[in-house]
Amino acid sequence: MRVCLCYPDADPAPWLSALRLHLPGAVIESWQPGAAMADYAVAWAPPQQFIDEQTRLKALFNIGAGVDRLLQLRLPAQLRVVCLDDAGMAVQMAEYVCHAVLRHFREFAAYEAQARLGQWQQRAPRARADFTVGIMGLGVLGTRVAQALRVFEYPLLGWSRSARQLDGVACFAGASALPQFLAACQVLVCLLPLTPDTQDLLGRARLEQLPRGAYLVNVARGALVVEDDLLALLGSGHLAGATLDVFRSEPLSAAHPLWRHPAVQVTPHISAQTLEAQSILQIAGKILALERGAAVAGVVDLARGY
Ligand code: NDP
Ligand code: OXD
Protein backbone atom coordinates (compact mmCIF):
# COMPACT_ATOMS: atom_id res chain seq x y z
CA MET A 1 0.00 0.00 0.00
CA ARG A 2 1.28 3.49 -0.86
CA VAL A 3 0.25 6.61 1.06
CA CYS A 4 1.22 10.12 0.03
CA LEU A 5 1.25 13.19 2.24
CA CYS A 6 0.60 16.63 0.78
CA TYR A 7 0.79 19.26 3.51
CA PRO A 8 2.43 22.30 1.95
CA ASP A 9 1.89 24.54 5.04
CA ALA A 10 3.64 22.27 7.55
CA ASP A 11 6.83 20.35 8.27
CA PRO A 12 6.01 16.90 6.83
CA ALA A 13 8.65 14.99 8.87
CA PRO A 14 6.60 14.31 12.03
CA TRP A 15 3.56 13.32 9.94
CA LEU A 16 5.62 10.91 7.84
CA SER A 17 7.25 9.23 10.82
CA ALA A 18 3.97 8.88 12.75
CA LEU A 19 2.13 7.51 9.70
CA ARG A 20 4.97 4.99 9.17
CA LEU A 21 4.70 3.94 12.80
CA HIS A 22 0.94 3.32 12.56
CA LEU A 23 0.98 1.80 9.07
CA PRO A 24 3.99 -0.55 9.10
CA GLY A 25 4.52 -2.13 5.72
CA ALA A 26 3.05 0.80 3.80
CA VAL A 27 5.21 3.04 1.61
CA ILE A 28 4.65 6.55 2.94
CA GLU A 29 6.14 9.55 1.15
CA SER A 30 5.70 13.27 0.73
CA TRP A 31 4.05 14.07 -2.58
CA GLN A 32 6.16 15.68 -5.31
CA PRO A 33 4.94 16.43 -8.85
CA GLY A 34 5.27 13.23 -10.87
CA ALA A 35 5.23 10.96 -7.76
CA ALA A 36 4.03 7.36 -8.08
CA MET A 37 0.29 6.72 -7.81
CA ALA A 38 -0.80 6.31 -4.20
CA ASP A 39 -3.66 4.32 -2.72
CA TYR A 40 -4.41 6.91 -0.05
CA ALA A 41 -3.64 10.61 0.32
CA VAL A 42 -3.38 12.64 3.51
CA ALA A 43 -3.63 16.29 2.52
CA TRP A 44 -4.40 19.87 3.50
CA ALA A 45 -4.94 22.48 0.79
CA PRO A 46 -3.22 20.47 -1.96
CA PRO A 47 -2.64 22.07 -5.37
CA GLN A 48 -4.88 21.14 -8.32
CA GLN A 49 -1.87 19.32 -9.86
CA PHE A 50 -1.92 16.87 -6.96
CA ILE A 51 -5.57 15.98 -7.64
CA ASP A 52 -5.00 15.79 -11.40
CA GLU A 53 -2.02 13.42 -11.01
CA GLN A 54 -3.25 11.17 -8.18
CA THR A 55 -6.02 9.43 -10.08
CA ARG A 56 -6.01 6.07 -8.28
CA LEU A 57 -6.81 7.16 -4.72
CA LYS A 58 -9.08 4.93 -2.69
CA ALA A 59 -9.57 7.89 -0.33
CA LEU A 60 -8.23 11.36 0.36
CA PHE A 61 -8.00 12.24 4.06
CA ASN A 62 -8.43 15.96 4.70
CA ILE A 63 -6.23 17.21 7.56
CA GLY A 64 -9.06 19.23 9.08
CA ALA A 65 -12.79 19.13 9.74
CA GLY A 66 -13.69 21.73 7.11
CA VAL A 67 -13.34 20.71 3.47
CA ASP A 68 -14.23 24.07 1.89
CA ARG A 69 -10.69 24.72 0.60
CA LEU A 70 -10.41 21.23 -0.85
CA LEU A 71 -13.78 21.54 -2.56
CA GLN A 72 -12.62 24.65 -4.40
CA LEU A 73 -10.51 22.28 -6.54
CA ARG A 74 -11.84 20.26 -9.48
CA LEU A 75 -12.31 16.84 -7.88
CA PRO A 76 -13.39 13.63 -9.59
CA ALA A 77 -17.03 13.05 -8.61
CA GLN A 78 -16.26 9.53 -7.34
CA LEU A 79 -13.33 10.58 -5.09
CA ARG A 80 -13.89 9.48 -1.48
CA VAL A 81 -12.96 12.46 0.73
CA VAL A 82 -12.80 11.83 4.48
CA CYS A 83 -12.57 14.72 6.94
CA LEU A 84 -11.30 14.71 10.49
CA ASP A 85 -14.08 13.62 12.76
CA ASP A 86 -13.41 15.32 16.13
CA ALA A 87 -9.84 13.95 16.59
CA GLY A 88 -9.48 16.13 19.69
CA MET A 89 -11.09 19.23 18.18
CA ALA A 90 -14.52 18.95 19.78
CA VAL A 91 -13.30 19.44 23.35
CA GLN A 92 -11.22 22.44 22.25
CA MET A 93 -14.24 23.93 20.51
CA ALA A 94 -16.39 23.38 23.59
CA GLU A 95 -13.76 25.08 25.74
CA TYR A 96 -13.46 28.07 23.40
CA VAL A 97 -17.20 28.63 22.96
CA CYS A 98 -17.95 28.20 26.67
CA HIS A 99 -15.25 30.77 27.43
CA ALA A 100 -16.73 33.26 24.95
CA VAL A 101 -20.30 32.75 26.20
CA LEU A 102 -19.36 32.90 29.89
CA ARG A 103 -17.18 35.95 29.37
CA HIS A 104 -20.10 37.76 27.76
CA PHE A 105 -22.81 36.58 30.19
CA ARG A 106 -20.74 37.32 33.31
CA GLU A 107 -19.54 40.67 31.86
CA PHE A 108 -15.89 39.87 32.47
CA ALA A 109 -14.76 42.50 29.93
CA ALA A 110 -16.44 45.17 32.07
CA TYR A 111 -14.88 43.76 35.27
CA GLU A 112 -11.45 43.69 33.60
CA ALA A 113 -11.87 47.36 32.62
CA GLN A 114 -12.94 48.21 36.19
CA ALA A 115 -9.98 46.28 37.61
CA ARG A 116 -7.57 48.30 35.49
CA LEU A 117 -9.02 51.43 37.17
CA GLY A 118 -9.00 49.85 40.64
CA GLN A 119 -12.81 50.08 40.83
CA TRP A 120 -14.66 47.71 43.20
CA GLN A 121 -18.14 47.74 41.76
CA GLN A 122 -20.64 44.88 41.57
CA ARG A 123 -22.98 44.66 38.61
CA ALA A 124 -26.52 43.29 38.88
CA PRO A 125 -26.67 39.59 37.97
CA ARG A 126 -28.22 38.86 34.59
CA ALA A 127 -31.18 36.48 34.25
CA ARG A 128 -29.98 33.13 32.92
CA ALA A 129 -33.44 32.26 31.66
CA ASP A 130 -33.33 35.29 29.32
CA PHE A 131 -29.93 34.35 27.91
CA THR A 132 -30.72 31.96 25.10
CA VAL A 133 -27.76 30.52 23.22
CA GLY A 134 -28.35 29.29 19.67
CA ILE A 135 -25.94 27.00 17.85
CA MET A 136 -25.96 26.93 14.06
CA GLY A 137 -24.62 23.56 12.97
CA LEU A 138 -25.33 20.50 15.09
CA GLY A 139 -22.66 18.20 13.70
CA VAL A 140 -19.65 16.73 15.47
CA LEU A 141 -18.50 20.07 16.90
CA GLY A 142 -21.86 21.80 17.41
CA THR A 143 -23.20 18.80 19.33
CA ARG A 144 -20.20 18.80 21.67
CA VAL A 145 -20.53 22.56 22.22
CA ALA A 146 -24.22 22.13 23.07
CA GLN A 147 -23.38 19.37 25.58
CA ALA A 148 -20.78 21.59 27.25
CA LEU A 149 -23.08 24.64 27.42
CA ARG A 150 -25.89 22.61 29.01
CA VAL A 151 -23.92 22.51 32.25
CA PHE A 152 -24.48 26.28 32.64
CA GLU A 153 -28.26 25.98 32.28
CA TYR A 154 -28.76 28.58 29.54
CA PRO A 155 -31.78 27.92 27.34
CA LEU A 156 -30.27 26.23 24.26
CA LEU A 157 -31.43 26.26 20.65
CA GLY A 158 -29.92 24.51 17.66
CA TRP A 159 -30.29 24.85 13.90
CA SER A 160 -29.26 22.35 11.26
CA ARG A 161 -30.17 21.34 7.73
CA SER A 162 -32.00 18.13 8.64
CA ALA A 163 -34.12 17.63 11.76
CA ARG A 164 -32.03 16.67 14.81
CA GLN A 165 -32.83 15.66 18.37
CA LEU A 166 -30.43 16.66 21.13
CA ASP A 167 -31.10 16.41 24.86
CA GLY A 168 -31.73 19.84 26.36
CA VAL A 169 -31.66 21.64 22.99
CA ALA A 170 -34.72 22.95 21.16
CA CYS A 171 -33.84 22.06 17.57
CA PHE A 172 -34.86 23.91 14.40
CA ALA A 173 -34.18 22.67 10.88
CA GLY A 174 -34.00 24.16 7.43
CA ALA A 175 -34.14 27.60 5.89
CA SER A 176 -37.80 28.15 6.72
CA ALA A 177 -37.09 27.84 10.46
CA LEU A 178 -34.13 30.23 10.43
CA PRO A 179 -36.00 33.50 11.20
CA GLN A 180 -37.74 31.93 14.22
CA PHE A 181 -34.43 30.50 15.46
CA LEU A 182 -32.51 33.77 15.02
CA ALA A 183 -35.20 35.87 16.69
CA ALA A 184 -34.76 33.85 19.89
CA CYS A 185 -30.92 33.90 20.16
CA GLN A 186 -29.21 36.26 22.64
CA VAL A 187 -25.97 34.58 21.61
CA LEU A 188 -25.46 33.03 18.19
CA VAL A 189 -22.68 30.46 17.84
CA CYS A 190 -21.78 29.63 14.24
CA LEU A 191 -20.50 26.11 13.62
CA LEU A 192 -21.68 25.55 10.06
CA PRO A 193 -19.46 24.33 7.25
CA LEU A 194 -18.75 26.83 4.47
CA THR A 195 -20.75 25.69 1.43
CA PRO A 196 -22.54 27.49 -1.43
CA ASP A 197 -25.66 27.46 0.84
CA THR A 198 -23.94 29.01 3.86
CA GLN A 199 -21.59 31.53 2.21
CA ASP A 200 -22.59 35.07 3.39
CA LEU A 201 -25.47 33.56 5.39
CA LEU A 202 -24.91 36.03 8.21
CA GLY A 203 -25.30 39.32 6.35
CA ARG A 204 -27.28 42.35 7.48
CA ALA A 205 -30.72 40.81 6.84
CA ARG A 206 -30.09 37.73 9.01
CA LEU A 207 -28.07 39.50 11.69
CA GLU A 208 -30.92 42.02 12.03
CA GLN A 209 -33.25 39.13 12.84
CA LEU A 210 -31.29 38.58 16.07
CA PRO A 211 -32.75 40.46 19.06
CA ARG A 212 -31.23 43.88 19.81
CA GLY A 213 -28.13 43.42 21.98
CA ALA A 214 -27.33 39.92 20.68
CA TYR A 215 -23.77 38.57 20.63
CA LEU A 216 -22.07 36.58 17.82
CA VAL A 217 -19.47 33.83 18.18
CA ASN A 218 -18.06 32.68 14.83
CA VAL A 219 -15.77 29.67 15.03
CA ALA A 220 -16.65 28.12 11.67
CA ARG A 221 -15.41 30.00 8.60
CA GLY A 222 -15.10 33.74 8.00
CA ALA A 223 -17.04 33.77 4.74
CA LEU A 224 -20.25 32.83 6.56
CA VAL A 225 -20.34 36.38 7.94
CA VAL A 226 -20.43 39.63 5.95
CA GLU A 227 -17.90 41.55 8.02
CA ASP A 228 -18.94 45.04 6.87
CA ASP A 229 -22.54 44.29 7.87
CA LEU A 230 -21.36 42.97 11.22
CA LEU A 231 -19.37 46.16 11.83
CA ALA A 232 -22.37 48.31 10.86
CA LEU A 233 -24.65 46.45 13.28
CA LEU A 234 -22.07 46.66 16.08
CA GLY A 235 -21.87 50.40 15.35
CA SER A 236 -25.64 50.85 15.51
CA GLY A 237 -25.84 48.92 18.79
CA HIS A 238 -28.04 46.20 17.28
CA LEU A 239 -25.29 43.74 18.20
CA ALA A 240 -23.53 44.00 21.58
CA GLY A 241 -20.30 42.34 20.48
CA ALA A 242 -18.63 39.37 18.88
CA THR A 243 -15.95 36.76 19.43
CA LEU A 244 -14.41 35.90 16.09
CA ASP A 245 -11.87 33.15 15.43
CA VAL A 246 -12.22 33.04 11.64
CA PHE A 247 -12.21 35.74 8.95
CA ARG A 248 -12.95 36.17 5.28
CA SER A 249 -9.26 36.71 4.65
CA GLU A 250 -6.72 35.05 6.92
CA PRO A 251 -4.43 36.19 8.43
CA LEU A 252 -6.65 39.17 9.30
CA SER A 253 -4.83 42.23 7.98
CA ALA A 254 -3.23 44.44 10.64
CA ALA A 255 -5.34 47.40 9.44
CA HIS A 256 -8.68 45.60 9.73
CA PRO A 257 -11.15 47.48 11.98
CA LEU A 258 -12.22 44.26 13.71
CA TRP A 259 -8.88 44.18 15.57
CA ARG A 260 -9.58 47.50 17.24
CA HIS A 261 -13.34 47.29 17.84
CA PRO A 262 -13.80 47.50 21.62
CA ALA A 263 -16.64 44.93 21.63
CA VAL A 264 -14.86 42.37 19.43
CA GLN A 265 -12.51 39.63 20.58
CA VAL A 266 -10.25 38.35 17.80
CA THR A 267 -8.26 35.12 17.86
CA PRO A 268 -6.17 33.72 14.98
CA HIS A 269 -8.15 30.59 13.94
CA ILE A 270 -7.24 28.59 17.04
CA SER A 271 -10.60 27.61 18.48
CA ALA A 272 -9.98 23.95 17.60
CA GLN A 273 -6.54 23.17 16.27
CA THR A 274 -5.59 20.00 14.44
CA LEU A 275 -3.83 17.75 16.93
CA GLU A 276 -1.15 15.82 15.12
CA ALA A 277 -1.04 12.61 17.16
CA GLN A 278 -4.82 12.16 17.41
CA SER A 279 -5.37 13.05 13.76
CA ILE A 280 -2.74 10.61 12.50
CA LEU A 281 -4.08 7.84 14.72
CA GLN A 282 -7.59 8.46 13.36
CA ILE A 283 -6.47 8.58 9.72
CA ALA A 284 -4.29 5.46 10.02
CA GLY A 285 -7.18 3.63 11.72
CA LYS A 286 -9.52 4.58 8.90
CA ILE A 287 -7.04 3.49 6.22
CA LEU A 288 -6.83 0.07 7.88
CA ALA A 289 -10.64 -0.05 8.16
CA LEU A 290 -11.07 0.76 4.46
CA GLU A 291 -8.50 -1.91 3.57
CA ARG A 292 -10.66 -4.42 5.51
CA GLY A 293 -13.70 -3.24 3.60
CA ALA A 294 -15.28 -1.55 6.66
CA ALA A 295 -17.15 1.76 6.63
CA VAL A 296 -15.57 4.87 8.18
CA ALA A 297 -17.06 8.04 9.69
CA GLY A 298 -16.44 11.49 8.21
CA VAL A 299 -17.00 10.68 4.53
CA VAL A 300 -17.86 13.95 2.79
CA ASP A 301 -20.87 14.29 0.52
CA LEU A 302 -19.24 16.21 -2.33
CA ALA A 303 -22.55 17.42 -3.76
CA ARG A 304 -23.71 18.78 -0.38
CA GLY A 305 -20.30 20.33 0.33
CA TYR A 306 -19.66 18.88 3.81
P1 NDP B 1 -20.28 18.48 10.59
O2 NDP B 1 -20.28 18.17 9.14
O3 NDP B 1 -20.21 17.37 11.58
O4 NDP B 1 -21.62 19.31 10.94
C5 NDP B 1 -22.10 20.32 10.13
C6 NDP B 1 -23.45 20.79 10.68
O7 NDP B 1 -23.88 21.94 9.91
C8 NDP B 1 -24.57 19.74 10.55
O9 NDP B 1 -25.41 19.79 11.67
C10 NDP B 1 -25.30 20.20 9.29
O11 NDP B 1 -26.68 19.85 9.25
C12 NDP B 1 -25.20 21.70 9.44
N13 NDP B 1 -25.40 22.35 8.13
C14 NDP B 1 -24.66 22.24 7.02
N15 NDP B 1 -25.20 22.98 6.01
C16 NDP B 1 -26.30 23.56 6.52
C17 NDP B 1 -27.28 24.42 5.99
N18 NDP B 1 -27.25 24.84 4.71
N19 NDP B 1 -28.29 24.81 6.79
C20 NDP B 1 -28.37 24.39 8.07
N21 NDP B 1 -27.46 23.55 8.64
C22 NDP B 1 -26.45 23.15 7.87
O23 NDP B 1 -19.10 19.53 10.83
P24 NDP B 1 -18.20 19.74 12.13
O25 NDP B 1 -19.10 19.95 13.30
O26 NDP B 1 -17.15 18.70 12.22
O27 NDP B 1 -17.46 21.11 11.74
C28 NDP B 1 -18.17 22.29 11.44
C29 NDP B 1 -17.24 23.33 10.84
O30 NDP B 1 -16.40 23.89 11.84
C31 NDP B 1 -16.24 22.81 9.79
O32 NDP B 1 -16.85 22.67 8.52
C33 NDP B 1 -15.17 23.89 9.80
O34 NDP B 1 -15.47 24.87 8.83
C35 NDP B 1 -15.29 24.51 11.20
N36 NDP B 1 -14.08 24.28 11.99
C37 NDP B 1 -13.41 25.36 12.49
C38 NDP B 1 -12.29 25.17 13.26
C39 NDP B 1 -11.56 26.33 13.86
O40 NDP B 1 -10.49 26.15 14.45
N41 NDP B 1 -12.09 27.54 13.78
C42 NDP B 1 -11.78 23.83 13.54
C43 NDP B 1 -12.57 22.77 13.00
C44 NDP B 1 -13.67 23.00 12.25
P45 NDP B 1 -27.14 18.29 9.23
O46 NDP B 1 -26.94 17.82 10.66
O47 NDP B 1 -28.57 18.36 8.85
O48 NDP B 1 -26.25 17.60 8.23
C1 OXD C 1 -10.52 22.68 10.40
C2 OXD C 1 -9.88 23.91 10.85
O3 OXD C 1 -11.40 22.75 9.53
O4 OXD C 1 -8.81 23.80 11.50
O5 OXD C 1 -10.17 21.61 10.91
O6 OXD C 1 -10.39 25.00 10.65
Nearest to 198 by CA among 164, 176, 221: 221
Is 269 catalytic? The answer is: yes
pLDDT tens for each residue of 219-246:
999 999 999 999 999 999 999 999 999 9
Share of the chain above pLDDT 90, in %: 99
Residues at CB less than 6 angstroms from ligand 1: 65-66, 89, 137-142, 160-162, 164, 191-195, 197-198, 219-221, 245-246, 269, 271-272, 306
Q: Which of 56, 269, 292, 304 is catalytic?
A: 269
Taking the C-alpha atoms of residue 148 and residue 164, their distance in angstroms, rounded to an integer, is 17
- Cβ neighbors of 231 (< 8 A, separation 6 or more) are 257, 258, 261
Q: Is there a catalytic annotation at residue 128?
A: no
Q: What are phi and psi of 251, to 5 degrees?
A: -65, 150
pLDDT at 202: 98
Ligand 2 pocket, residue 65 CB under 6 Å: yes
Give yes or no for residue 64 CB within 6 A of ligand 2.
yes
Of 221, 238, 248, 304, the catalytic one is 221
Domain-by-domain residue ranges, the chain? Answer: 2-87+274-291, 89-266
Find out if CATH 3.40.50.720 is the number for domain 2-87+274-291: yes
Same fold for the domain at 2-87+274-291 and the one at 89-266?
yes
pTM of the complete model: 0.97
Q: Is 89-266 in CATH node 3.60.9.10?
A: no
* Percent of the chain predicted with pLDDT > 70: 100
Burial class (CB in 10 A: 0-12, 13-18, 19+), 141: buried
Between the CA of 64 and the centroid of ligand 2 the distance, in Å, is 4
